[in-house]
Chains A and B, each alone.
Chain A
Amino acid sequence: MHLTFYVAGTIAIVTTVMVITRRNAIHALLYFIVSLIAVAVIFLDVGAPFVAVLEVIIYAGAIMVLFIFVIMLLSPAASTLARPSIWVGPAILSVLLAVGVIYGIVGGQMGTFEVPQTTPKEIALVLFGPYLLGVELASLLLLSGLVAAYHLGRREKPKAISDKPVGGTLGGRERQTKEVS
């Protein structure tokens, strides 16, 4: 029985159930990070170490931090909810996951499936070869996402002045006509 794969899969399902049933977004995020790490362990187990590292760095590192930033910005009381007691559940599941991984490594079971280990070089050769158009489209998507996030994240007031014709007050309109003339 290949224990690591099944332990990681079970923990991924349990933590995902916890994510969609929590009331508080910070608690859900903690469980979701454990879920992502469990999925990264599965990637590591099926011979995809590069993707496992990307999952931890980008998903659990960058995107989840973005979520936490926004939740903390929206509700300042959320910082008081980050008390030690909410760490108990995710910590127990993380320890179980760590036990599964250590058991797999010590027992020599980790990554022993009949699949080839994919190196970053192979992925890069395919990514920048047949999928070059996809890379260009992804860069375009990231650029448009950057512009859209900047535009949407601006304050309301400067936008109300710059968009006078739609909802501007009389004063705003007068100011604009003066600027135009």
Chain B
Amino acid sequence: MKPYPIDYGLILAAVLFALGLVGVLVRRNIVFLLLCIEIMLDAAGLAFVLAGARWGRPDGQVMYIFILTMAAAEVSVGLALIMRMYHRLKSLDSDEVSRMKG
């Protein structure tokens, strides 16, 4: 039995979250924006599961299931919005929708 390297695990989760955040800030393609939000959700779930394993409780995994549910709902609505935007503007550039009418 080895001691559980929770510090490395949490550093990994933080790095993944930071990469997702950088992607959201840098990319302009709206599909990539949604993908980077998925990366951040996944990193948050990883942190939950690792912390739950640290204390030997299943609560962290329950939170991961909730995150999974939320990600599924968010992706379905987000992709429907992307398809609506593409049909209207013929573009996936998020700057195209920076101005709203009314």
Contacts and interface: CB of A to CB of B under 8 A. Distances in A.
Given A13-B12, A42-B9, A67 B1 contact: no
Contact of B69 (A42, A74, A125, A138): A138
Contacts, number: 170
Interface in B64-94: 64-66, 68-77, 79-84, 86-88, 92
Given A48-B49, A51-B61, A126-B58, A32 B35 contact: yes
A134 interface: yes
A63 interface: yes
Contact of B39 (A5, A19, A73, A115): A19
Range of interface residues on chain A? 35 or more
Contact of A12 (B4, B16, B31, B82): B16
A29 B29 CA distance: 14
Interface of B: 1-5, 8-9, 12, 15-16, 19-20, 22-23, 26-27, 29, 31-32, 34-36, 38-39, 42, 46, 49-50, 52-54, 56, 58-59, 61-62, 64-66, 68-77, 79-84, 86-88, 92
Interface of A: 2, 5-6, 9, 12-13, 16-17, 19-20, 25, 28-29, 32, 35-36, 39, 42-43, 46-48, 50-51, 54-55, 58-59, 62-63, 66-67, 70-71, 73-74, 112-116, 118, 122-123, 125-127, 131, 134, 138, 141-142, 144-146, 148-149, 152-153, 156
